[in-house]
Amino acid sequence: MGEPALTPPLFAIFSDLIEKACGVHYDAGDRPILESKLSTHATELGFDSLLDYYYRLRYDDPGAVELHKLVEAILVHETYFFREYRQLVQLCDHYLTDLVRTRGRARVWSAACSTGEEPFTLAMLLEERGLLDHVEIVASDVSSDTIVRAKAGLHGKRALRDGHPPEVASRYLDAGAAGYAVVPRIRDAVKFATINLLDDASVRKLGRFDAILCRNVLIYFHDAQILKVLERLARSLEPGGLIAVGVSESLLRFGTSLVCEERGNAFFYRSGA
Amino acid sequence: MTVSRTFTLTTAEQARVEHIDQLVALGPSGVDELISTMSDPSWTVRRASVAALASLGDDSVGPLCTWLSDQRTEEHSIAAAVDALAASIGKSTTVAVMAMLADPRPAIAADAAQILGRRRATEACAILGKAISHVDDNVAVAAIEALGAIGGSAAIDELIAVMGHRNFFRTFPALQVLAKSGDPRAVAPLASLLDDETFCFEAVRALGRTGSAQAIPPLASLLPRSGDAIVRLIALALADLVTRAEWIGVAAQVVITMRECIGPSLVRFAAALRASDPEERAALAVVLGRIGDESVIPELARLLDDPELHTIATEAIQRIGELHDAAQIAALAVDAATRVAVLPIVNSRAAAASVRALLRDENGEVRARACEALARIGDSASVPQLFATLDDPNPRVALAATAAIQSLGVADTAKRVIAALQHGSPAVRRYALRIIAYMGFAEAYEPVSLAISDADPRIAELAVASLGAINDPRVDGLLAEIAVSPTPTLRAAAMRAAVNRLGENAGELLERGLADDFAWVRYYACQGLGRIGRANAVEQLIARLADATPHVRISAIEALAHLETAAAWQALCSVIRSGDPDERRAALISVGLRPGDAALPFLFEALKSTDVATRLIGLSGLARRPEDSALEHVAVAALDPVAEVRDAALSLLGERWDRAAAEALVDLALACDEEHPVHLTLSRPGACRIAAIAARLANVDDRRAPILASALARMHEGSATTTLFEALTLTNAAARRAAATTLIAMAVDGAYKAVTRVAREDPDLEVRRVCAALVAA
């Protein structure tokens, strides 16, 4: 038994199935990556053919249990502490600080937090500024497995990379042989939830936020899907609230009602309504 | 919250567009009124007006030129008139617009130049060349830009003259056009701008766009300047230069020159990575990948964490590793990300020990890639460790180890795999069964039979499925017993195993499976009957088309594809328009497997589907079909907006070895821009493609000849190079110029001598001048 192959037609039907399930879009150039992930997963389930596996997902998967497992297996969980750090600093110093001063409280949502490094980093920065008790941090991801890992607050060595502020990291991350443990004060400050950004009802249940972090997520989505997600995120913003996307992402080409603005040295998208 | 991107017509706009359609139908008598619609306040209506005037061809050219010369009422109408003339299908359009270029009023002459450029009017190059020295800057710039749009190296002397005058407005566009001209005479004037602070930056970038090795020494001459900024700027130019040289087919020669000129500054280029922006880092990585050695790998490795630079950094590390075994081994010691990057290209036995050590790396992807590398190296000494790796907690690693063991296939594999069947870990036992299923060891019959009773149901299923590969006379009897087992999944596994058995027993077993209660038994029974080609099962399979379970119906459809009977064909045709997309696609695949032209209408229809998978299946059905219409449809699919479809079509064209397919590729290459992947397909070596290119070189123009010459150069193959030499004697001067330029850039044996002779003896003055410049450089 060799590894099952992902032919171009199979790639097309699988990528369509996955995009409908979680929004992640695969381009033609991603076929080897998807093939590797799919064939590992299908082989583990005992399939020699990806087409047999596809029919299992399509016609013999009550409750979409296997499809959910597949999505869990193929999602990219690449993140690390202090990633695009400057933007988070600017968010704290040029927005959340003022908000807490004037309103007493603020809410922030890390909308695709993976294993939690992003919301934990934000919590560290807020703690440094004495704001942590005044800001509610909600963090979500489509993958329930990663949310379980995020809640544990235990991270591998690659979760901390070059360019991080060592003094902040050392205060809130306990280094061990296997990696880093987030200190309880920071770990407990983040509320985690499993949310699919394509699921309107789940997103609505979270309520409104003053800031939404949706960084390095939209790069995995197709334009039509991005527009839908942005629409949902914009509806979840308080008037004047901010959305932060990754430094290599731009929403300008989508012509949304969000206004791009610079705060400090970082860019955010502000809700006009 | 989003701005609508669709342009919905109001009722009034719709009426005006319909009136335009009526005016078009009137022919010449409707032109004057049509021209008046160019001033319509609605952009959409004006677009309709432009399209209408352009489609009228010669009937509208005169009135449009007159309007543009004498009326010019408002800006948006002028723009519409220019657009209409640029798109006009009239035979007289270019000549009429060329006359406008002589108009003493600069605005009109500038519009004329723009129109000629957009029409890519090669016959206008001479007068556009003269317009470069027009007293009015706007006309001169429009002429320069028009020559750039037309392409080729027309008016090269006039463009070079602009460099000498250093007129701020004219020099910038002129240097861009020169850079893309592909003319060997362009490099020196561009290099002459490097000492002028006003133009230096743009001149550096322009030198990069030439793709010429001759541009490298002038760029390197800037390196004595201090600071990282100049290094980063040169890196940007060199990255462009390499990309362009790859396209021309002369990257190897460019890299040699880069190593000579830039190599001594390698440390500065590596150091510049740290303070660069992403675009500069990407360029530096390209340069370091071409000229670097193991010393720069740690710096490149730092880029691997950046998603935007990961691919470029990986390529750079791999390039260095491919050149030096020592670099491969050194890279394996850097960090996990670098190991992941370099392991796919490790192919040296010298690296085997280092790779074996990585089977214990803490990173799962490193361990998996180490398994793959050991298989590639052919390191049979690693088999014991690979067996130990079957116990890896990461399934990707264990599967890679399984594949490596299968690939290496050493003498004691059977003994080891049978021992692995007794392993305490269920996962190891499963991987062992997969190896048995692949390699089919006869001595494994007994232990595999025992494994059917394993408490782990997945192991039991795999054991049954593995039986199919074992050459032992007891297998058929055992499968027959399992086929009536009370466990449905074991019965399904028996059907999977039966596919690999020969003889009547297997066929009968599979036929009985069609009536099983469990859908997956029926599914695999259908599949098996198709694969063993059991023609007398056709009626039973047709009956399964009405099965209550969708995937059984689909499996029956797929099975019928393998049974070439009239009844099977009729059945397939009946389900090809099923309401279920999977059934439709399965039927289409099946129809596509049938020889003969009866399948063609279904396949052609599939190519028009909005569903990408259906288009891909339609294409795969057209593979290797001899009909001209099949080739035409594949060629059209090569222009599909979806990359998967386009690439599949090109792949089909590239796999064909007939002249018709090669000519289709040439047509596509000449019609598509340089980024289109058709150029890569055309440059796959092959006698049919070389012959098709050679034939087209005989009558191709100055803009297109370099496209074909480059395709030959990218083949890196003797007969393709011979064709380039032969092109030096063609009657077509454009082909001779392109061939001479390409041969000198390739620096192949005999090129200098041959081009020197052309420089001396060619009947065409311009060819002699180009060749003289090539020889001098």
Which residue, of A49, A74, A99, is where some domain finishes?
A74
- Tell me whether residue A79 is in a domain: no
Cβ <8 Å between A2 and B403: yes
- Tell me whether residue A150 is in a domain: yes
**Which residues of A fall within a CB distance of 8 Å from B644?**
8, 11-12, 28
Hey, CA dihedral for B751, B756, B758, B759, is it positive or negative? positive
Task: Check pLDDT > 70 for residue A257.
Answer: yes
B 507-566: CB under 8 A from A: 519-520, 523, 549-551, 554-555
Cβ <8 Å between A44 and B2: no
Contact B623, B652 (CB under 8 A): yes
Domain enclosing residue A21, as ranges: 8-74
* Contact B457/A at CB under 8 A: no
Q: Which of B305, B549, B554 sits opposite A161 (nearest CB)?
A: B305
- Tell me whether residue A80 is in a domain: no
- Tell me whether residue A49 is in a domain: yes
- What average pLDDT does range B278-297 have in this prediction? 94
**Which residues of B fall within a CB distance of 8 Å from A255?**
2-3, 5
Residues A66 and A174 occupy one common structural domain: no
Distance from C-alpha of B453 to C-alpha of B776, rounded to nearest angstrom = 82
Residues A62 and A165 occupy one common structural domain: no
Tokens 């060997």 map to which residue? B184
CB atoms within 10 A of CB A204: 12
Which residue, of A74, A97, A125, is where some domain finishes?
A74
Chains A and B: how many Cβ contacts under 8 Å? 94
* Contact B281/A at CB under 8 A: no
What integer pLDDT is reported at residue B6 of this predicted model? 37
More confident residue, B460 or B623: B460
Tokens 């232990």 map to which residue? B447
- Tell me whether residue A3 is in a domain: no
**Which residues of A fall within a CB distance of 8 Å from B520?**
60
Task: Check pLDDT > 80 for residue B5.
Answer: no
Cβ <8 Å between B644 and A8: yes
What integer pLDDT is reported at residue B7 of this predicted model? 43
Short-list B570, B580, B532, B572, CA closest to B556: B572
- What average pLDDT does range B406-434 have in this prediction? 94
Residues A193 and A156 occupy one common structural domain: yes
- Tell me whether residue A123 is in a domain: yes
Distance from C-alpha of B519 to C-alpha of A186, rounded to nearest angstrom = 52
* Contact A146/B at CB under 8 A: no
Q: Which of A9, A78, A254 sits opposite B620 (nearest CB)?
A: A9
* Contact B1/A at CB under 8 A: yes
What integer pLDDT is reported at residue B494 of this predicted model? 96
CA distances from B760 to B153, B603, B671, B730, B763 (A): 20, 56, 34, 16, 9
* Contact A63/B at CB under 8 A: no
Task: Check pLDDT > 90 for residue A48.
Answer: no
Distance from C-alpha of B532 to C-alpha of B433, rounded to nearest angstrom = 23
In this prediction, residue B677 has a pLDDT band, given cuts at 50, 70 and 90, of: very high
Residues A29 and A109 occupy one common structural domain: no
* Contact A9/B at CB under 8 A: yes
Residues A124 and A209 occupy one common structural domain: yes
Cβ <8 Å between A55 and B551: yes
pLDDT in tens, B203-215: 999 999 999 999 9
- Tell me whether residue A2 is in a domain: no
Q: Which of B399, B582, B643 sits opposite A40 (nearest CB)?
A: B399
- What average pLDDT does range B44-56 have in this prediction? 91
Closest residue in A to B651 (Cα–Cα)? A8
- What average pLDDT does range B298-306 have in this prediction? 88
Task: Check pLDDT > 90 for residue B68.
Answer: yes
* Contact A13/B at CB under 8 A: yes
What integer pLDDT is reported at residue B676 of this predicted model? 95
Residues A89 and A70 occupy one common structural domain: no
Residues A132 and A262 occupy one common structural domain: yes
Cβ <8 Å between A28 and B644: yes
In this prediction, residue A263 has a pLDDT band, given cuts at 50, 70 and 90, of: confident
The per-residue pLDDT of chain A, averaged, comes to: 91
- Tell me whether residue A134 is in a domain: yes
ipTM of the complex: 0.78
pLDDT in tens, B628-659: 999 999 999 999 999 999 999 999 999 998 99
Which stretch of B116-125, B489-498, B720-729 has the lowest confidence by average pLDDT?
B116-125
Task: Using DSSP bridges, classify how beta strands A259-263 and A190-194 pair: parallel, antiparallel or unpaired.
Answer: unpaired
Which stretch of B117-126, B522-531, B548-557, B730-739 has the lowest confidence by average pLDDT?
B117-126
Q: Which of A3, A11, A13 best tests the B interface by mutation, with the highest count of B CBs <10 A?
A: A13
Short-list B517, B455, B447, B459, CA closest to B486: B517
Residues A114 and A24 occupy one common structural domain: no
Distance from C-alpha of A259 to C-alpha of A244, rounded to nearest angstrom = 12
Total domains in the fold of chain A: 2
Coil, helix or strand at residue B578: coil
At a CB cut-off of 8 Å and minimum separation 6, what does B122 contact?
A: B150, B152, B154, B701, B702, B703
- What average pLDDT does range B218-225 have in this prediction? 93
**Which residues of A fall within a CB distance of 8 Å from B302?**
162
B 408-427: CB under 8 A from A: none
- What average pLDDT does range A248-263 have in this prediction? 82
Q: Which of A58, A216, A257 sits opposite B582 (nearest CB)?
A: A58
Contact B64, B85 (CB under 8 A): yes
The per-residue pLDDT of chain B, averaged, comes to: 92
Distance from C-alpha of B448 to C-alpha of B464, rounded to nearest angstrom = 8
Which residue, of A43, A74, A105, is where some domain finishes?
A74
For chain B, the 3-state helix, strand and coil shares in percent, each to the nearest 5, are 75, 0, 25
- What average pLDDT does range B431-450 have in this prediction? 94
Residues A52 and A109 occupy one common structural domain: no
Task: Check pLDDT > 70 for residue A2.
Answer: no
What integer pLDDT is reported at residue B579 of this predicted model? 87
What integer pLDDT is reported at residue B422 of this predicted model? 93
What integer pLDDT is reported at residue B438 of this predicted model? 92
Q: Which of A9, A256, A257 sits opposite B617 (nearest CB)?
A: A9
Q: Determine the distance in angstroms separating the CA of B393 from the nearest CA of chain A, rounded to an integer.
A: 12
* Contact B396/A at CB under 8 A: yes
* Contact B441/A at CB under 8 A: no
Residues shown for chain A = 273
Structure tokens at A191: 């509320």
A 251-270: CB under 8 A from B: 254-258
Q: Which of B2, B396, B642 sits opposite A254 (nearest CB)?
A: B2
- What average pLDDT does range B499-527 have in this prediction? 93
* Contact B201/A at CB under 8 A: no
Phi, psi angles (nearest 5°) of residue A197: -65, -15
Residues A153 and A224 occupy one common structural domain: yes
What integer pLDDT is reported at residue B376 of this predicted model? 95
Coil, helix or strand at residue A212: strand
Helices (DSSP H) in chain A: which residue ranges?
Answer: 8-22, 31-44, 50-59, 65-74, 85-91, 97-103, 117-128, 144-152, 166-172, 184-187, 200-205, 223-235
Q: What's the per-residue H, E or C state across B366-422?
A: HHHHHHHHHHHHCCHHHHHHHHHHCCCCCHHHHHHHHHHHHHHCCCCHHHHHHHHCC
What integer pLDDT is reported at residue A1 of this predicted model? 61
DSSP A114-176: TTSHHHHHHHHHHHHTT-GGGEEEEEEES-HHHHHHHHHTEEEGGGS-TT--HHHHHHHEEE-
Short-list B464, B413, B463, CA closest to B439: B413
What integer pLDDT is reported at residue A273 of this predicted model? 54
Task: Check pLDDT > 80 for residue B3.
Answer: no
Q: How far is CA B81 from the centre of its chain?
A: 38
Short-list B125, B43, B30, B48, CA closest to B84: B48
**Which residues of B fall within a CB distance of 8 Å from A59?**
549-551
**Which residues of B fall within a CB distance of 8 Å from A39?**
399
**Percent of chain B scored above 70 by pLDDT?**
99
**Which residues of B fall within a CB distance of 8 Å from A158?**
336
More confident residue, B697 or B322: B697
The b/e string for B475-502 (b: 16+ C-beta within 10 A; e otherwise) is: bbebbbebbeeeeebbbbbbbbbbbbbe
At a CB cut-off of 8 Å and minimum separation 6, what does B102 contact?
A: B109, B127
H or E stretch at A194: strand A190-194
Residues A56 and A90 occupy one common structural domain: no
- What average pLDDT does range B586-599 have in this prediction? 89
Q: Determine the distance in angstroms separating the CA of B395 from the nearest CA of chain A, rounded to an integer.
A: 7
CATH at A153: 3.40.50.150
Residues A215 and A108 occupy one common structural domain: yes
Distance from C-alpha of B314 to C-alpha of B515, rounded to nearest angstrom = 54
* Contact A184/B at CB under 8 A: no
Q: Which of B369, B531, B551, B558 best tests the A interface by mutation, with the highest count of A CBs <10 A?
A: B551
* Contact B491/A at CB under 8 A: no
- What average pLDDT does range B86-99 have in this prediction? 94
* Contact B393/A at CB under 8 A: no
* Contact B617/A at CB under 8 A: yes
H or E stretch at A241: strand A237-244
B 148-187: CB under 8 A from A: none
